[in-house]
Structure 1
Amino acid sequence: MSARNPSLDSIARARAGGARTPSPTPSEREALAPPRPLKERLRHPTKRELYILGIVLVALAIAITIAKLHDKIAYGLQPLGQWMRHHRGGWAIPVAFLIVMSFPPLAGHELVATMCGLTWGLGLGFLIVCLGTWLGELALFVACRYFLTKRGERYERKNIQFATLAAVIREGGFKIILMARFSAIPPHFTTAVLATCGTSMPKFLLATFLALPRQFAPVYIGYTLEQSIEGGTFSSSSRLTAPSKLFIAID
């Protein structure tokens, strides 16, 4: 039997007993309010909308900068990849990084996946990324289940959006869990929600495993960069010799 939201249960009992329904909370008023027109949002944006816009602009600026410097970045990471590839147990380094980066607010998962494709190619690189991603999500799930469940319950009573999402996950079963793993919601946030909503570990592990093909895109990007390096498409000005000297000295 699936668990229910305590706030929804209290409202149902109040209505069944003929008592007055309690006044909506601020989060409920915000959720029940009609959406503002686009013109009004553009003229008078809220603080939350301004924060989201700032984050999007920063992300676009970073993406454009990386796109312009992708040749130098690829060539600069190649010595590190060669060092890991020619050392026993070098594959465990990106796996460890992926596990650590599974805990928000850390970022850089896609960069590590690209590095794996650049170093080990499509097959082995994709397997390494899948292993690190799967273990990282499992570690985050266990941490949230044992340390953040009580906080999640309190937040569920205060925020109607989170309570609605939790109710949909509980009632929807495995299909909703799998759809959440394939959705545009950041996987780490999805993992935290699933852990605090009482999702069973076997269902979570299976859904996470079935969603691993999402990690193929950055690995393929790294593979194409490695092919461009071997094909000699880099100009002499884009070759960075400092990383090569550094890892030769370490070796």
Structure 2
Amino acid sequence: MPAPVSSIKIIALAAIGILIVVFAILLAVFHNDLLAIAMPIAERIAKLPMSFLIALVLIAASSIPPLLGQDPLALLIGAVWGLNVGFWTVVCGIFIGETIAFMAYRYFLEQKAQEFREHHEEHYGTFVKIVEEGSYPLIWLIRLSFLPTHFTTVFFATLPELSYIGWAIAFWLSCFKYLVPVYAGYCIVHNKSSAANIVGIVLSIVVTLGTLAFLIVRYKAIKNSTLEDSTNSTSDVLNHLESQPTDSIDLRHLEQTSEQNETDNSERKHLLSHQH
């Protein structure tokens, strides 16, 4: 017997969380190989005037769905442009890119936003309730985690209750999370092994898994509550019908049957009289 759709979706969400963690671990393990490939190109770009603007445009573009690559680019920017310039380049670039995505889906891509709602129709309303319950603290926590922003930004854009200002405040209050990949790139180039970087990665993973677990738990609770309410409503209707007096129902049925029989008999008599 196939698993319920809700269970499949929950398993899918858990799988996404695991993939994010695996990606973060692989990035931490193979960052040297990635930098060895990309560093020569990045160093040539860094020699150009106002080169950080090129990096800003690249990471802004990677923040607009369906393009990818925020974390590797942030790592590279930290390695080439350093901790200070690199961090603000990454944060401003991502903010610009995600602002474009937010505004586009809210005001210019209404059909796409509607398709997004319809594609996730079965579960969209549930997640809206979760966000409404958690309000801005939950929005901030989702922003702070490393859940895919290509999904969360589009989701937030489809919520009329969430203003752009509210979303922007949540972004800036959580932007320090981008220190993790930028500082990792900076440490690699300067041959530093910092405990702070390891702590940052671990905290990011913990926050992401914690947020994902909270969303799954609340999702199941709201789904079960909705199912229970629906069951109770159906039971109330059945109880109401059962409470109706059966005598009056049977009497009406007998009266209708009697009237029908009288009509049939009169028609037969009429036909017989014509035959004679």
Corresponding residue to 2:78 among 103, 106, 117: 117
RMSD of the TM alignment (CA)?
3.5
Task: Give the one of 185, 190, 198 matched to 1:227.
Answer: 190
Q: Which has the larger radius of gyration?
A: 2
Query: What CA distance in whole angstroms lies between the structure 1 residues aligned with 2:17 and 2:147?
Result: 15
Q: Which structure's residues are more often helix, by fraction?
A: 2
Structure 1 CA distance for aligned equivalents of residues 13 and 145 of structure 2 = 22
Where in structure 1 are there 5+ consecutive unaligned residues?
Answer: 1-28, 36-45, 230-251
Structure 1 residues 137 and 58, CA, compared in 2 at 3 Å: closer, same or farther? closer
CA offsets, 1:41-88, max 9 Å, x none?
xxxxx79969986996799599659835x4343233332232232221
Give the conservation status (yes or no) of the 8 Å contact 2:45–2:51. Answer: yes
- Among 116, 134, 158, the residue aligned to 2:95: 134
Matches within 5 A, 1:1-251: 30-31=5-6, 60=22, 64=26, 67-68=29-30, 70-149=31-110, 152-153=113-114, 156=117, 159-198=121-160, 199-228=162-191
On the 8 A contact 1:170/1:197 being kept in 2, the answer is no
Q: Is the 8 A contact 1:85 1:119 kept in 2?
A: yes
Letter in 2 for 1:106: L
Distance 1:128 1:150, change over 3 A: same
Unaligned runs of 5+ in 2: 193-276
Q: TM-score, normalised by structure 1?
A: 0.62
TM-score normalised to structure 2 length: 0.57
Conserved? CA contact 2:17–2:147, under 8 Å:
no
Identity of aligned residues (%): 26
Greater RCO (Cα-Cα under 8 Å, separation 6 or more): 1
Question: 1:149–1:195: 8 Å Cα contact kept in structure 2?
Answer: no
SS of corresponding position for 2:48: coil
